[in-house]
Structure 1
């Protein structure tokens, strides 16, 4: 696990409210986002990711499927332009099937001394910035057990 200081980062995304069983509703939009960026001539900068805004593991998840871009752009339709907040992020990489992330997430969340940019509310955990970044291209490596996935969880600013 590393602590990394990031500047503000630009991206475009599609945001949906889903459940764990309907994750494909947002995940399946990533190729469309890539196509939109290519058609607009927008430079991409990094691997696609999922940004979790609100998490209720027993209910709904407010999630974005995003693609980083080199600079500010204007969205169109339900493809929105946004930024990831600057700050310190706890980061860990995992090679394996996405289903194997739960113990990695729990270990990161239970690391002593880390205070995350997250608040507990009635509808779930509200995150300032919680990312799952997919560094492996599924077209080049279809075996999900060999995928490299990075977790980046923003830390609360020191008081």
Structure 2
């Protein structure tokens, strides 16, 4: 397996970060539904005169073994909390220690980087803040932040995506 990790994995402590997001359920085959939400979210922020505090991200909530559909949010970090509405939610990225790494390459190859991060964390004796309900994996903090602006870099093989997975709180002093 080729490595697509540009940097990391490392452990980083992060403070709570407000964000606005649009929740969605989507399968990989219909991923264009998720990417279409990014401009909608930026337009919503512009209409509210709220500036983003970083690049857009996906927050994964539920992953189910054998199921290709994901429960996630398409979000943008903010400097301060805002009120959501019937379409856009306001929430926050949890404070805590995260295993972080930068994937460089086509988003279709992201699973390889995720696997490397998971192997590294296991080797380091770290567990992610998640639980299982049957075959469903429920995460407290699993993020992919898209650091590359597709308008300035249309070549997907040059994209950089930060992976950050929240570590169980009792594992890091």
Q: How far did 1:89 drift?
A: 0.3
Distance 1:123 1:42 in 2: 39
Q: Which runs of 5+ in 2 are unaligned?
A: 1-8
Distance 1:78 1:64 in 2: 11
Q: How far did 1:58 drift?
A: 2.5
Q: How far did 1:136 drift?
A: 0.4
Matched, 1:139 2:148: no
Identify the range of structure 1 (121-130 vs 80-89) with the bigger mean alpha-carbon deviation.
121-130
Distance 1:43 1:15 in 2: 20
Counterpart of 2:49 in structure 1 is: 41
In the superposition, the TM-score normalised over structure 1's length comes to 0.95
In the superposition, the TM-score normalised over structure 2's length comes to 0.88
Q: Which runs of 5+ in 1 are unaligned?
A: none
Alpha carbons 1:49, 1:66 under 8 Å: kept: yes
Q: How far did 1:123 drift?
A: 4.6
Q: How far did 1:76 drift?
A: 1.9
Runs of 4+ in 1 over 4 A off after TM superposition: none
Matched, 1:71 2:80: yes
Over aligned residues, Cα RMSD in angstroms? 1.2
* TM-superposition CA deviations, 1:50-95 (whole Å, max 9, x none): 0000012532310100011110001122111111111000000011
Matched, 1:121 2:133: yes
